[in-house]
Amino acid sequence: MLKELIHYCEISKDGELLGMTVPINKPIDWTSFDVVNKCRYATGFKKVGHAGTLDPFAEGVLILGFGRHTKLLNQYKNEDKIYRVDIKLGIETDTLDRTGRVLKSITVDTPPTVHDIQKQLQQFRGDITQIPPMYSAKKIRGETLYKLARAGKIIEREPIHVRIDAIDILRYSWPVLACRVRCSSGTYIRTLAADIGHVLGCGGYADTLVREQIGDVALNECYTIDEFIEEWKSINH
């Protein structure tokens, strides 16, 4: 449920707006930086940041900090997350999502059953390791991985430790497997999708991705960009 924008604002005793922390529903095909730029321009704040990048193909909860609240964003970066992901089985891409180049299409005579999938998902629950994808914003030795990947360079990446508290199957109709994932900060859902496809023997990638929650902040509490701008105008007319 949306709260009035004033709820997120810090106002000084003399009425000056010092900062605000606002949950935004990032739209598909926008980068997280696009959202920051749009909201910076709309509000006039010089300092605007976000708590945790969402891939352009993904949508959902993106927490923005304005003014002095940019210093408060770190507390959200380490919060647990909840995602909803549609995994397209039978195809592998270089980005591990639908935006990438198809590397392999795998013909499956007998698709895995829900029972097969449930059995394989057991190994992804709890403390696990992941190899960060090349198409990510992670930096290794000062170089951003996705920039190297776009230049055709693949480098060795050390595995990272993450925690997955739950993976629930929401629906399954070959070749699409829809899951809800509750996980620690730093978990790569695209990597999880590809790894699930790998253990099922058919490959897979993240076709759609929605971040439903960061900590206690849920998607139904998030403003669309247009809603946020209208609310901002209403308190600054």
Residues with a catalytic annotation lie at: 55
DSSP code for 110: S
Distance of CA 125 to the CA centre of its chain: 19
In sequence order, what are the residues at sequence separation of 6 or more whose Cβ sits closer than 8 angstroms to the Cβ of residue 67?
10, 17, 18, 19, 20, 45, 47
Task: Give CA–CA dist 194/197, Å, rounded.
Answer: 5
Q: Cβ–Cβ contacts within 10 Å for residue 163, how many?
A: 15
Whole-number Å distance between alpha carbons of 212 and 52: 13
C-alpha–C-alpha distance, residues 216 and 183, integer Å: 13
Closest by alpha carbon to 97, among 217, 204, 216? 204
Distance of CA 118 to the CA centre of its chain: 24
